[in-house]
Amino acid sequence: MSREPLQSNEITRVAKAAVEVVQELGFTCCLFGSAACWYYGMRNRVPNDVDLVVMEDPEEYDTENIKRLIVSRDSPPATRTTPSRFCGALNFA
């Protein structure tokens, strides 16, 4: 299934929304992958998604719970969930 590439304002908005939710839950996180490269100036590849690493192991939240919280708090919604290629991975775009 092909979709339109993310626009720069979508990348920024989705990344900020995701980081805010993770921080509100009391965890530290960092942006990585193609969105991080794009954010730091690499413009030859537009990211397809926004990847975060949560530094702590949140016992009461699994990756799917965190993903649902990010999507539910994103207003107006810009996130589109996508199935993960890896079991337990947190994927959204």
Angle at the Cα of 53 (from 43 to 86), degrees rounded to 5? 90
Q: Read off the pLDDT of residues 67-81 as tens digits, 9 standing for 90 and up.
A: 888 888 766 555 555
Query: Considering the domain boundaries, does residue 80 fall inside one?
Result: no
Query: Considering the domain boundaries, does residue 62 fall inside one?
Result: yes
Query: Considering the domain boundaries, does residue 91 fall inside one?
Result: no
Structural domain boundaries enclosing 41: 8-73
Question: Quick one: pLDDT at residue 93?
Answer: 44
Q: Alpha carbon 23 to chain centroid distance? A: 13
Q: Read off the pLDDT of residues 10-40 as tens digits, 9 standing for 90 and up.
A: 888 888 888 998 899 888 999 999 889 988 8
pTM score of the predicted model? 0.70
Query: Considering the domain boundaries, does residue 66 fall inside one?
Result: yes
pLDDT band at 88 (very low <50, low <70, confident <90, very high): low
Query: Considering the domain boundaries, does residue 55 fall inside one?
Result: yes
- Of 51, 58, 53, the closest CA to residue 26 belongs to 58
- Give the orientation angle of helix 63-73 with respect to helix 8-24, to 10 degrees: 120
Q: Read off the pLDDT of residues 35-60 as tens digits, 9 standing for 90 and up.
A: 899 888 888 888 888 888 888 776 78
Q: How far is Cα 57 from Cα 19, in angstroms, rounded to an integer? A: 16
Query: Considering the domain boundaries, does residue 81 fall inside one?
Result: no
Question: Quick one: pLDDT at residue 45?
Answer: 80
Q: How far is Cα 32 from Cα 34, in angstroms, rounded to an integer? A: 7
Number of domains in the chain: 1
